[in-house]
Amino acid sequence: MHAPYFWDIVGPMVLVVFIANFIWSIFSYRKKAIYRLFLSVIFSLVACNIFWWSIGKFMAIVPFFQFIGVLHLLIKNNFRSMEKKG
């Protein structure tokens, strides 16, 4: 892990996974898949943690909005279930 070429390979791979995860979270939100969206939040936070010393602070806005999406779907589903019962 102390070899300089390690981060030359892992760094771009993590960025590609971060972008793919962001696209996956958009599809998860559209399909109203709360668990997949929550997993996207966790994966995005891990990627932000890896890059925190450089661009991770700017990348952290993505999991923030993903988490807002999770909360929105939870609240929206809760109100729908209450309307069906009442």
pLDDT in tens, 1-14: 567 777 788 888 98
Residue 18: name the closest of 73, 51, 72 by CA.
51
pTM: 0.79
Summarize pLDDT for 34-79 with one digit per residue, the tens: 999 999 999 999 999 988 888 888 999 999 999 999 999 999 887 7
What pLDDT sits at residue 35? 93
What pLDDT sits at residue 2? 67
Distances (CA, A) of 10 to 3, 7, 24, 26, 42: 11, 5, 20, 24, 18
* Gap between the Cα atoms of 67 and 7, Å rounded: 28
